[in-house]
């Protein structure tokens, strides 16, 4: 392995626990993205003059009820994905970590996903699952980016690598009849993550993860997007349909376009 000391450290941490949490690589890109959210919230819900951005996001449940939430979420998702530079900015916040963990020829999900979880709202729960169980490639990583501080029940949980390996060996007997049965069987082993605004989480989506009812008095806002090596195997989500290459190198482009001489 000819990795640098820093890349080796990131790799070891990712492989041992299934995730890394680091300061974003480009704080200006993150600030720009959050400003787009604030503008969309102002257009759809309204904000008070001078209201701090973190307060707008953390206290959105004072302006939007649970039944109204999905309509707002869809409007904002549509809005941010319609912004030409948004995905480029998203990539910039995690680029050096992705290049260390995944490679420098990357494919990126075509659309950014958004999660908004109001306090005490059970309509936005994500039951325990691994994305690979439903056909995603094990070569993908998820870049999870909070717009507010996420902690305790306001964040997500993940079953780390060693516990996930144990679960896989005894999955049938531990899975039960529902995702809640499965969660109860791993409850003592999952790690509740803390990811603050200004940090980025990159995790192995082949490990069981999810969230629980938000018991904090603030709303969670987090984005997620998948990345993978262009030339690694794809699952049900194909290149051109779900992913697109974003950092294809010249040698790869030349190789893909190469044609043998016509000797007929």
Contact call for residues 116 and 125 (beta carbons, < 8 A):
no
Considering the four listed CATH numbers 2.60.120.620, 2.30.30.230, 3.40.190.10, 1.20.1250.20, the one that applies to the domain covering 13-231 is: 2.60.120.620
For the chain, residues with pLDDT lower than 50 are none
Locate the domains of the chain by residue range. Answer: 13-231
30-35 contacts: CB < 8 A, separation 24 or more? 30/89, 30/93, 30/145, 30/197, 30/198, 32/89, 33/80, 33/86, 33/89, 33/90, 33/93, 33/145, 33/147, 33/223, 34/147, 34/197
12 C-beta neighbours (distance < 10 Å), count: 12
Query: Coil, strand, or helix at residue 222?
Result: strand
- At 1 the pLDDT is 75
pLDDT tens string 28-56: 999 999 999 999 999 999 988 889 999 99
pLDDT tens string 213-232: 999 999 999 999 999 999 99
- At 123 the pLDDT is 86
The pTM for the full model equals 0.95
- At 173 the pLDDT is 81
Contact call for residues 93 and 175 (beta carbons, < 8 A):
no
- At 174 the pLDDT is 85
């Amino acid at each position: 392995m000819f990795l640098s000391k820093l890349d080796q450290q990131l790799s070891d941490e990712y492989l041992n626990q299934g995730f890394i949490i680091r300061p974003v690589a480009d704080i200006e890109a993150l600030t720009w993205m959050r400003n787009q959210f604030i503008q969309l919230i102002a257009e759809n819900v309204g904000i008070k003059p001078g209201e701090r951005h973190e307060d707008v996001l953390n206290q959105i449940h004072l302006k939007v009820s649970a039944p109204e939430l999905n309509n707002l979420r869809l409007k904002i998702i549509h809005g941010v994905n319609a912004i030409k530079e948004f995905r480029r900015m998203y990539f910039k916040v995690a680029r050096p970590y992705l290049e260390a963990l995944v490679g420098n020829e990357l494919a990126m999900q075509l659309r950014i996903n958004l999660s908004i979880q109001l306090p005490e709202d059970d309509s936005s729960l994500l039951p325990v699952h691994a994305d690979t169980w439903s056909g995603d490639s094990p070569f993908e990583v998820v870049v999870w980016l909070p717009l507010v501080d996420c902690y305790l029940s306001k964040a997500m949980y993940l079953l780390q690598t060693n516990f996930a390996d144990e679960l896989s060996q005894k999955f049938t007997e531990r899975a039960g009849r529902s995702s809640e049965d499965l969660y109860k069987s791993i409850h003592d082993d999952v790690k509740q993550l803390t990811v603050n605004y200004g940090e980025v989480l990159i995790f192995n989506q082949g490990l069981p993860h999810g969230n629980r009812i938000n018991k904090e008095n603030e709303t969670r806002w987090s984005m997620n997007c998948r990345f993978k090596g262009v030339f690694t195997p794809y699952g049900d989500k194909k290149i051109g349909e779900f992913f697109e290459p974003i950092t294809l190198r010249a040698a790869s482009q030349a190789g893909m376009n190469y044609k043998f001489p016509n000797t007929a």
